[in-house]
Amino acid sequence: MKRIACFSVIMLLMASFVHAEMDIAYEGPQEGDVLNSEDDLNIKITAVDSYLKHPYIYLGCPSSELKLIASEYYDYDDKKTTFEFSFPLFGQNPGPCKISYGAFLFDKQDKDYVLHVHDSLNFLLNPPEVEPEGSALVVRAIPKEFNPGGYLHLLYVIKPMLPEGEGFTGIIVRDNIPEVFSLVEPAPYLLLTSTSNIDHTYDDETGLLKLVISNPSEVGFENAWVSFIISDNIGPGEEFEFSGDWEILGETGPILGVSKTKASGFAMPGCPISDTELLGYIDQWSNMELDPDSVDNNDNLIMQIIEVWKSC
């Protein structure tokens, strides 16, 4: 009897060291899909039996190596399970493109155990129906949501639209940053493969960020990354908007792409809630969209919404 008891204890201890089948679920373009240049690249990465530590996405299109377009870092205590990113394809070179995506994952039961999962796929990008105007194209990309108290990583894609050899040697990108975001080190940087230089100024009072990118020959197809620390005094669902432009010698133009992002979490609506709006919330609840990270809270939120609707 004692031997059986000892064997059971040993098996229980061995089981405690077996990690869950950690993985990621990917939602987005599939292998062989055809996308248009006017489309947004919408990707969602969900941790399976784990928490996200570092999700990332790379994109490579003709005449351009794989470049990082999305990257976030989370702590174990964030218990983050979903990451969504929307990236404007306008300005990318048409033809066969490749997406490489993945994530470093925390084990739910052992925060010191981290697993790396990654995959890739190919798709075809059609040329734009209308070519962009101007000598340059600057596109901003921001995650759809952020965690208050965490970090926000902005990506600016800068693409010269002039024939090679007729380009410009300098461009200034100006962006108005909402006051809840504060610039942090490392300073704005270009990918290591770039031969251009980057400098910047940032006004804490006005939130005006200026990036100066220069090259003694001519500025190439650049990806510029900028990191901000986020205030923790932000309510769930609060939305913030960016606006900016670019300038080269004798010419200016607007920054295109994503201009809005919001705090993660659900902002409880107030009165009035129409019947149609209520049905929309019910649809979000059924798709686990009110709180993707918690089934219980997802259920709790729809009950609260119904109570608000009843009281209106």
Bridge partners (DSSP) of residue 86 are 42
Three-state DSSP class for 308? helix
Which tens digits make up the pLDDT trace of 50-78? 999 999 999 999 987 888 888 888 989 88
Average pLDDT, the chain: 87
Residues 221-231: what's their mean pLDDT? 91
Does this model's pTM top 0.85? My answer is no
Give the pLDDT band (50/70/90) at residue 192.
low
Q: Which two tokens stand for residue 112?
A: 């010191």
**How far apart (Å, rounded) are the C-alpha atoms in residues 81 and 309?**
30
Could you give the percent of the chain with pLDDT greater than 70? 92
Residues 95-113: what's their mean pLDDT? 94
15, pLDDT greater than 60: no
- Nearest C-alpha neighbor of 142 from the set 227, 39, 76, 220: 227
Please report the DSSP string for 27-78 in residue order.
ES--TT-EEETTSEEEEEEEEESEEEEEEEEEEE-TTS--EEEEE----GGG
287, pLDDT greater than 60: yes
Phi, psi of 280 (to 5 degrees): -65, -40
Residues 278-290: what's their mean pLDDT? 89
Bridge partners (DSSP) of residue 159 are 137
Task: Give exposure, 226-260, as e/b (b: 16+ Cβ within 10 Å).
Answer: bbbebeeebeeeeebebebebebeeeebebbbbee
Domains of the chain: 19-129 (2.60.40.1930), 132-265 (2.60.40.740), 275-311 (no CATH)
Which tens digits make up the pLDDT trace of 154-175? 999 998 988 888 889 999 999 9
**How far apart (Å, rounded) are the C-alpha atoms in residues 242 and 175?**
7
8, pLDDT greater than 90: no
Asked if residues 125 and 61 have their Cβ atoms less than 8 Å apart, the reply is yes
Asked if residues 51 and 105 have their Cβ atoms less than 8 Å apart, the reply is yes
